[in-house]
Amino acid sequence: MQKIGIIGGGIRGHMYAKSLQHFPGADVRAVSDLSQATAEKTADAFGLAAYTDHRHMLQEVDLDAVIVATPDFAHRDPAVDAAERGLHLLIEKPLATTAEDAAAIEAAVRKAGVECMVGFENRWNPAVRRIREVAAAGELGQVLTQNILLSNTWYVPTEMLSWAARSSPAWFLMSHTVDVATWVNGRTVASVDARGSRGQLAARGVDTWDVVHALLTFDDGTTANLTSTWVLPDSMPSLVDFQLQAVGDRSAVQVDLHEQSVRHAAPDGLRFPGLLGDEIDGRLQGPPTWMVQHFVSCLNEGRPVGPGLRAGRAVTDVVLAVHESLATGGTVRPGTHAA
Amino acid sequence: MQKIGIIGGGIRGHMYAKSLQHFPGADVRAVSDLSQATAEKTADAFGLAAYTDHRHMLQEVDLDAVIVATPDFAHRDPAVDAAERGLHLLIEKPLATTAEDAAAIEAAVRKAGVECMVGFENRWNPAVRRIREVAAAGELGQVLTQNILLSNTWYVPTEMLSWAARSSPAWFLMSHTVDVATWVNGRTVASVDARGSRGQLAARGVDTWDVVHALLTFDDGTTANLTSTWVLPDSMPSLVDFQLQAVGDRSAVQVDLHEQSVRHAAPDGLRFPGLLGDEIDGRLQGPPTWMVQHFVSCLNEGRPVGPGLRAGRAVTDVVLAVHESLATGGTVRPGTHAA
Amino acid sequence: MQKIGIIGGGIRGHMYAKSLQHFPGADVRAVSDLSQATAEKTADAFGLAAYTDHRHMLQEVDLDAVIVATPDFAHRDPAVDAAERGLHLLIEKPLATTAEDAAAIEAAVRKAGVECMVGFENRWNPAVRRIREVAAAGELGQVLTQNILLSNTWYVPTEMLSWAARSSPAWFLMSHTVDVATWVNGRTVASVDARGSRGQLAARGVDTWDVVHALLTFDDGTTANLTSTWVLPDSMPSLVDFQLQAVGDRSAVQVDLHEQSVRHAAPDGLRFPGLLGDEIDGRLQGPPTWMVQHFVSCLNEGRPVGPGLRAGRAVTDVVLAVHESLATGGTVRPGTHAA
Amino acid sequence: MQKIGIIGGGIRGHMYAKSLQHFPGADVRAVSDLSQATAEKTADAFGLAAYTDHRHMLQEVDLDAVIVATPDFAHRDPAVDAAERGLHLLIEKPLATTAEDAAAIEAAVRKAGVECMVGFENRWNPAVRRIREVAAAGELGQVLTQNILLSNTWYVPTEMLSWAARSSPAWFLMSHTVDVATWVNGRTVASVDARGSRGQLAARGVDTWDVVHALLTFDDGTTANLTSTWVLPDSMPSLVDFQLQAVGDRSAVQVDLHEQSVRHAAPDGLRFPGLLGDEIDGRLQGPPTWMVQHFVSCLNEGRPVGPGLRAGRAVTDVVLAVHESLATGGTVRPGTHAA
């Protein structure tokens, strides 16, 4: 039985608490959030202790593991503090948004000898898993190219996330697709060329990139093409557009997660509801839920968790390279930027 | 903790055992199948006792509940025998294929006072659930019409099922869609007109209907159109085609479960893999798994199970009416045939 | 060079005039419409003479052929009058909405020895043609079943058509799909069972059927399932939904003309624009345009036109049977109703 | 009436001859091809004079215009020779595959004062036109990003084209999508970054790029992402995959031309037939047909043809930049390479 604390009580922290609510082997005890209202809302929903300072939570509550569900750029302190107390970690993707933060978390984890998992939830997405299985079974052959699009409507950066200006489509979205691309082809990113534009979101008060395109070159010389934007019209039938094509020398796969088998011509327009993530008989089912349950099961059974620090650092390095290439116009090797 | 026996150890019995393998609160103990090889295969996979006669299993093993996963037409004896021993029941759909069998099961269940659930697994299908939720929330308004197609490739009646000649596309497939149609619109079927054809399967040694179309008229005067066939080409990218459209006076929904977000251009042709039903971290996830887990959870928590006998009998009555209308060319009121 | 008059100057009459505007071998000279404004609008757009009484047009203008583009129920007088003057005919589908009208047109055409084509434009629809070609080449084998849906949003009966109450989804839409079904399978409809509902459109002042389902049984014992409704939500991304599946014993085809390769997330919602029917370099391209050009080319080259009276009468007979079955609840053989 | 000669009598030359066979105002008189068999096959099909040397054809046949349908790299001599004789030109895309060839053609055309159209047939593709219309009407607003994929199965470079090794996915496919991207957004390409891989086709004897990804940066700072490959599995249901997404600040459009409304589950696997390009009543209909008919109509009516040299040169410059960036790994400004 894992005694669990959650740091960050917003949308994701709430979802993790709900995902573990009826899950055997998990005992979620406390939640902390800088906003007292947010902390209390999630605490009240699941009968948890509420904190506004995660250090107080770590001090006062008897815990085995911590879920770090703070904004992209705010993973370091909670993760390091928890590791130093010997607690296992599930950290939301991306692991960190600076090389320094990533290094600090890694150092703390290694020193403490705790388990650390990074929340690349698409590894529990049935469509992505299916591609990975096809690839891992050798049915794709060598992966020659991938095109992956993961974008959001304006709603996400301008209404859903209060901290979008401190993130970007690359941090928030491409951290998923970089992990997917390398999980599918089993390669390492050798270099990155990125281009994009900004100005539209800035004009609405969110000063970050509107559009990011990245060309990845892998260590076997093959390439992939990643796109993430935050400027899809709000009239899109889903707030997430996720398209993937992977072409191997033996076969090819294509995934469309924008439209997930259901269309609803609602009075106010067509909607494509997501199929996973809803409650079924009062229990959430879906990728992040199965991911956090996997984390708990591994801890209970003494199995190593994963994806871990290596995947987390690799993705952070690539997304840092994307931003550096966006800024300089040059080709960037991940992990070689000044840290 | 429910001590469970499974009667019928084929594809479905095996799947139920696997679905409960790591599920807390379930203790699957035994499996029976007329084929000793089948019984032993499933028993060995999950460490169960194997029987070829379900009565011996019921006599010898200490059980709380039984899952009846025998062929369509062979539910009566296992269900009645288990009920008479005071065991709770999960019976595969359809409840029965004759009115006499349905009445006998119902009588035994009522007399014993046991719980009885009928395996309409599409009530745990995320796409169908979404439609039901939209309908139940009043967003569809009055459902004016539905078109539902559920069909299989030749493979299913000629290779997958050894007993297809004793079933039909109406029993095997339309029992699902009759339940879905009435779950979505909340109505009762007032009359049935069915037409279809046979001869193709018969020529391949499976003497049953090739194609069945049924027009349902509901108690509010609205109608629906159901089609099930067993003659889709084996070159179809999935062996199941499932399409649904429901039009209400406020909005409409459309579901395509033939193509579930993934396409695989495999060397031997395009495939549409199903997204749910695979293992995730060694655990099955998907409609029938969530259904059987729900059954166990309800028993453990003392909650009533469902869908139950009422839904089971209603569907059996409608599918009997479909066959009667196919045979006579007349309009048939469900439940009014000689029983 | 064919000298052509158009009777009915509304949406379709205008489209036909435009379709022939730059077509060699066609000389459109006049248009008549009961509404003077409508007649003049189309006449002015294409430099035609305008009439409000088609008989005056027939008397005064030197013509070789006439296009009858009046409402469904108003084909008889223009067609008979034109035939009696020895003019060739292109008559909009359906040929007529009563057996008497159909017989009167047929008699006039036969007596005059003129050519008569019925406007089943889907025979020029590339998707439908492709299916027909696959079928005609024997690639489908025997067609075992078809499911065809052709429906409109509320907009069509309540705003686009002023005369919807004098038509129905069966006359306006199913006349297309009956022709398609029989063109694809090459069979004759032996009997019809139809069910449907009304009340929604009536409540909005258009007293006709909301929903029509028809089961067709063909002379070879196979069946098809046709649905047409006029109650799709106006939030649907296209005002036409057209879905077709035909399953043969050798292969199967599926057509979705609701979504024609393009999605537009317009500010007010998702739209599926139709791909054909637009101008290309100032010239219309699309099924009805190619149909009317075919009509003119055949006349110029002395080839027989088609589909002709036989197809026109067959469809009218089936749709009459649909309405009779809707009214009586019985099985109806086309052509056997009191005429 | 335009007297027309065709240089290059293969797939495309044959298609152009057929497209003009019954088109008023066109009088196709002769065809030349280096292969006598090819020349004669097309000549015989349409009653033309056959030549193996285009210069002889130009000398001996009285012509007004010439269609250059030779392989990508072989446009210069036929185009220059025809222009010098004062003949109007329709040149297949790309205009040329070297800056020298493009300049030579341009000089000859300007000197002769003839009309010159470059065969960007997607400007007559209804789906692409629809996007262009939405964009031109201001409904997209500023185009912020585009993702365009145009790829072929192995069949095209290894079986369909004898000269694939002297072309590339960039010349053969991306010349289309560069034109589409700039036609839709109305911008000029300021710089190009391209990455890709080769080796697979080379191993099959066709030494060219397998995969090409190009990031385009436009003069307004926005970007687009183009992918073209020649290594899609032959089990894909169509030999062309064409996907486009354009996101503007007011709305967005998405096009899928891989699946064009029809699926055929043929005995040997699923096929997505193309909808346009077939004969309708013995006459081809589709983008390249409408394009060549437009060319003839413009000449007959004394209207300027287009897209012309400017578009042709712009695309050639961008695709040259793509290849240079592929080779050097650098960012390339179109038109600035050594010529």
Is residue C291 scored above 70 in pLDDT? yes
Q: Which residues of C touch D24 (CB under 8 A)?
A: 24
Separation CA C152–CA C239 (nearest Å):
5
Asked if residue B215 and residue B153 are part of one domain, the reply reads yes
Separation CA C52–CA C43 (nearest Å):
11
CB contact under 8 A, B266 and D235: yes
Tokens of C106: 């047929």
The residue of A235, A238, A256, A268 whose CB has the most chain C CBs within 10 angstroms, and thus the best one to mutate to test that interface, is A235
pLDDT at position B95 is 98
Tokens of B124: 């745990």
Using CB atoms, which residue from D250, D251, D262 is nearest to C255? D262
Q: D153: which DSSP letter?
A: B
Separation CA D18–CA D333 (nearest Å):
40
Asked if residue C222 and residue C186 are part of one domain, the reply reads yes
Asked if residue C138 and residue C78 are part of one domain, the reply reads no
pLDDT band at A76 (very low <50, low <70, confident <90, very high): very high
Separation CA C13–CA C5 (nearest Å):
10
Phi-psi bin for A138: left (phi > 0), alpha (psi -120 to 50), beta? left
From A58, A86, A114, the end of a domain falls on: A114
D145 lies in some domain: yes
Asked if residue B138 and residue B166 are part of one domain, the reply reads yes
Interval A41-53 mean pLDDT: 98
Closest residue of chain C to A235, computed from CA coordinates: C269
What is the CATH number for C157? Answer: 3.30.360.10
Name, in order, each residue with C-beta under 8 angstroms of D143's C-beta and a sequence gap of 6 or more.
D135, D184, D185, D186, D187, D222, D246, D247, D248
D338 lies in some domain: no
Q: Tell me if B218 sits within 8 A of B249, measured CB to CB.
A: no
Asked if residue C108 and residue C129 are part of one domain, the reply reads no
Q: Which residues of A touch B267 (CB under 8 A)?
A: 139, 250-251
First to last CA, chain A: 39
Shortest distance between the Cα of C236 and any Cα of chain B, in A, equals 8
Is residue C103 scored above 90 in pLDDT? yes
Interval B224-241 mean pLDDT: 97
Number of domains in chain B: 2
Q: D59 lies in which domain range?
A: 2-114
Separation CA C103–CA C117 (nearest Å):
15
Asked if residue B132 and residue B107 are part of one domain, the reply reads no
Among B280-284, C255-259, D310-314, D331-335, where is mean pLDDT lowest? B280-284
β-partners of residue C128 are none
Tokens of A249: 């020398």
Which pLDDT tens digit goes with each residue over C299-312? Answer: 999 999 999 999 99
Asked if residue B183 and residue B323 are part of one domain, the reply reads yes
From A59, A85, A114, the end of a domain falls on: A114
What is the CATH number for D35? Answer: 3.40.50.720
Backbone angles phi, psi at D176, to 5 degrees: -65, -50
Nearest one of A146, A138, A173 to A253, comparing CA atoms: A146
Tokens of C164: 């919807």
Q: Which residues of A touch D326 (CB under 8 A)?
A: none
Helix, strand, coil percent values for chain C (each to nearest 5): 40, 30, 35
Is residue C62 scored above 80 in pLDDT? yes
Is residue D90 scored above 70 in pLDDT? yes
**What is the pairing mode between strands C240-248 and C252-256?**
antiparallel
Closest residue of chain A to D222, computed from CA coordinates: A197
Q: Which residues of D touch A158 (CB under 8 A)?
A: none
B297 lies in some domain: no
Chains with 3+ CB–CB pairs under 8 A to B are: A, C, D
A222 lies in some domain: yes
Asked if residue C136 and residue C103 are part of one domain, the reply reads no
Shortest distance between the Cα of A144 and any Cα of chain D, in A, equals 8
What H or E segment, with its residue span, contains residue B86?
none
Q: Tell me if C333 sits within 8 A of C321, measured CB to CB.
A: yes
Name, in order, each residue with C-beta under 8 angstroms of C135's C-beta and a sequence gap of 6 or more.
C143, C184, C185, C186, C246, C248
B239 lies in some domain: yes
| Burial bucket for residue C141 (CB in 10 Å: 0-12, 13-18, 19+) | middle
* 3-class secondary-structure state, position D5: strand
Q: Which residues of C touch D253 (CB under 8 A)?
A: 262-265
pTM to 2 decimals?
Answer: 0.96
Closest residue of chain A to C153, computed from CA coordinates: A265
Shortest distance between the Cα of C173 and any Cα of chain B, in A, equals 16
pLDDT band at A336 (very low <50, low <70, confident <90, very high): confident
Is residue A304 scored above 70 in pLDDT? yes
Which pLDDT tens digit goes with each residue over C195-251? Answer: 999 999 999 999 999 999 999 999 999 999 999 999 999 999 999 999 999 999 999
Is residue B321 scored above 90 in pLDDT? yes
The residue of C281, C292, C295 whose CB has the most chain D CBs within 10 angstroms, and thus the best one to mutate to test that interface, is C281
Separation CA B283–CA B28 (nearest Å):
15
What's at A153, amino acid-wise? Answer: T
Is residue A190 scored above 70 in pLDDT? yes
Q: Tell me if C200 sits within 8 A of C208, measured CB to CB.
A: no
C282 lies in some domain: no
Which pLDDT tens digit goes with each residue over C172-205? Answer: 999 999 999 999 999 999 999 999 999 999 999 9
CB contact under 8 A, B217 and C195: yes
Cis peptide before C307 (omega within 30 of 0): yes
Tokens of D227: 């992918």
A335 lies in some domain: no
Nearest one of C181, C191, C247 to C216, comparing CA atoms: C191
From C61, C79, C114, the end of a domain falls on: C114
Asked if residue A109 and residue A145 are part of one domain, the reply reads no
What H or E segment, with its residue span, contains residue C182?
helix C175-185
pLDDT at position B338 is 44
Asked if residue A269 and residue A150 are part of one domain, the reply reads yes
How far lies D181's CA from each of B107, B279, C112, D133, in Å? 70, 43, 57, 13
CB contact under 8 A, A130 and B252: no
Asked if residue D242 and residue D133 are part of one domain, the reply reads yes
B338 lies in some domain: no
Shortest distance between the Cα of B209 and any Cα of chain D, in A, equals 22
Interval D294-317 mean pLDDT: 96
Q: Tell me if B67 sits within 8 A of B90, measured CB to CB.
A: yes
Interval A197-207 mean pLDDT: 97
What H or E segment, with its residue span, contains residue A86?
none
pLDDT at position A290 is 95
Asked if residue B320 and residue B173 are part of one domain, the reply reads yes
Q: Which residues of D touch B266 (CB under 8 A)?
A: 235
pLDDT at position D337 is 54
